[in-house]
């Protein structure tokens, strides 16, 4: 199939373009700066905020992935709303058979953060206006993913962590390879169009669980002491001070970290005959990928 990928320069998007090419698809990477693009696929000029560019870029494609989230923008919800509507319009006008959207887990009955509400709104726009398959995920564990980098850097840099109360929140992380298997697996399957699937690892974990597992895998001993009085606003500054994440992104992520994001529907595992790996295995893979990227051959001291 000829497949367009938005967000191809991002963490998931760059890995997805490689995965799609590996199984034989003709991949177009939609980007505002095709002259700078160095990833897999053929770069095509497109801007989610410019409808005409989307119509030109999507011409001749069979399907497309929508991986755009304007998390670092002040008006990210409005930008994502407008972008989703423009993309759905361009996709239907060009006769695409499927859009695949990666959104966020979260219970609709919960008081979702602005970030998660925006992802749910984008999902609804795409499903309502175009032939769409929606996947919902929590944290995707892989080298250079923002949420994973926060976990890794906290464990690496703090022997003792005085942490916000959201470290007790449950989530269901998924390894990058498992997320890619789901994203690629639903492509070209008509029975998935109009459906929403939840994807995640084998079990829910708290952020504290993930930090302790990551510290063990990295060969560290870490003490974690939750501090209930540390507000989301203060904890976003805490993240900005300790890690490399910018403040606006930290605030959006922290707001979402107060919501439980758990998989309740595992239909996709049976549909694709795929069993996701554990968080520990995904963490080891992410750390190994980082070592390879940085050219380091030194093994981690954690148990094999």
**pLDDT higher than threshold 80 for residue 260:** yes
Tens-digit pLDDT profile for residues 118-176: 889 999 999 999 999 999 999 899 998 988 888 888 888 777 766 667 777 889 999 99
Contacts (Cβ under 8 Å, ≥6 apart) of 151: 207, 210, 211, 214
Is 4 strand, coil or helix?
strand
Closest CA to 147 of 11, 33, 53: 11
Considering the chain, what percentage of its residues have pLDDT values greater than 90?
Answer: 60
Q: Which residue has the higher pLDDT, 248 or 204?
A: 204
For 224, other C-beta atoms within 10 Å of its C-beta total 18
Domains and CATH numbers, the chain: 2-138+174-199+263-273 (3.40.50.720)
Distance of CA 117 to the CA centre of its chain: 15
Do 87 and 120 form a contact (C-beta atoms < 8 A)?
no
* Separation CA 88–CA 129 (nearest Å): 6
The pLDDT, as a whole number, for residue 299 is 43
Burial (CB count within 10 angstroms: exposed 0-12, middle 13-18, buried 19+), residue 170: middle
Q: Which residue has the higher pLDDT, 139 or 64?
A: 64
Residues recorded for the chain: 304
- Dihedral-angle region of residue 36 (phi above 0 means left; psi in -120 to 50 means alpha; beta otherwise): alpha
Which strand (E) or helix (H) includes residue 87? Answer: helix 76-93
* Separation CA 289–CA 293 (nearest Å): 6
pLDDT-based confidence at residue 28 (cuts at 50, 70, 90):
very high
Tell me the pTM.
0.88
Burial (CB count within 10 angstroms: exposed 0-12, middle 13-18, buried 19+), residue 17: buried
- Residue pointed to by tokens 């549909």: 271
Sign of CA dihedral 265, 268, 273, 277: negative
Considering the chain, what percentage of its residues have pLDDT values greater than 70?
Answer: 84
Residue 286: phi, psi to the nearest 5?
A: -65, -40
Is 197 strand, coil or helix?
strand
**pLDDT higher than threshold 70 for residue 70:** no
Mean pLDDT, rounded, for 7-33: 96
Mean pLDDT, rounded, for 31-37: 93
| Beta bridge mates, 99 | 64, 132
Distance of CA 113 to the CA centre of its chain: 16
Mean pLDDT, rounded, for 16-44: 96
pLDDT-based confidence at residue 73 (cuts at 50, 70, 90):
low
- Output the 3-class SS for 244-263: CCCHHHHHHHHHHHCCCECC
Give the Cα-Cα-Cα angle 285, 287, 289 (nearest 5 degrees).
70
* Separation CA 217–CA 222 (nearest Å): 12
The pLDDT, as a whole number, for residue 61 is 98
Mean pLDDT, rounded, for 177-197: 98
Q: Which two tokens stand for residue 199?
A: 């994807």
**pLDDT higher than threshold 90 for residue 270:** yes
What dihedral do alpha carbons 110, 115, 120, 122 form, nearest 10°? 160
The pLDDT, as a whole number, for residue 231 is 58
Tens-digit pLDDT profile for residues 276-289: 999 999 999 999 99
Do 199 and 267 form a contact (C-beta atoms < 8 A)?
no
Lowest mean pLDDT among 133-137, 193-197, 220-224: 220-224
């Amino acid at each position: 199939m000829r497949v367009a990928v938005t967000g191809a320069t991002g963490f998931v998007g760059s890995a997805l373009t490689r995965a799609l090419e590996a199984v034989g698809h003709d991949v177009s990477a939609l980007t505002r700066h095709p002259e700078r693009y160095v990833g897999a696929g053929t770069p095509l000029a497109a801007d989610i905020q410019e409808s005409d560019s989307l119509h030109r870029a999507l011409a001749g494609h069979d399907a497309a992935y929508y991986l755009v989230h304007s998390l670092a923008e002040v008006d990210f919800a409005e930008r994502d709303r407008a972008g989703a509507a423009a993309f759905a319009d361009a996709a239907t006008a060009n006769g695409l058979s499927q859009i695949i959207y990666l959104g966020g887990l979260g219970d609709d009955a919960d008081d979702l953060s602005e970030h998660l509400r925006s992802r749910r709104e984008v999902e609804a726009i795409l499903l309502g206006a175009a032939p769409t398959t929606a996947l919902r995920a929590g944290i995707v564990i892989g080298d250079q993913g923002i949420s994973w980098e926060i976990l890794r850097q906290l464990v690496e840099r703090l022997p003792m962590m005085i942490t916000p109360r959201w470290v007790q929140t449950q989530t269901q992380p998924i390894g990058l390879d498992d997320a890619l298997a789901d994203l690629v697996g639903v492509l070209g399957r008509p029975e998935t169009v109009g459906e929403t699937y939840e994807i995640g690892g084998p079990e829910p974990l708290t952020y504290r669980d993930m930090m302790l597992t990551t510290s063990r895998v990295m060969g560290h001993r870490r003490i974690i002491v939750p501090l209930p009085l540390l507000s989301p606003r203060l904890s976003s500054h805490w993240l900005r001070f300790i890690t490399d994440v910018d403040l606006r992104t930290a605030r959006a992520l922290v707001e979402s970290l107060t919501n439980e994001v758990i998989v309740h529907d595992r239909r996709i595992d049976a549909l694709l005959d795929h069993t996701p790996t554990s968080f520990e295995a995904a963490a080891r893979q992410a750390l190994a990928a980082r070592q390879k990227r940085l050219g380091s051959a030194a093994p981690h001291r954690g148990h094999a």
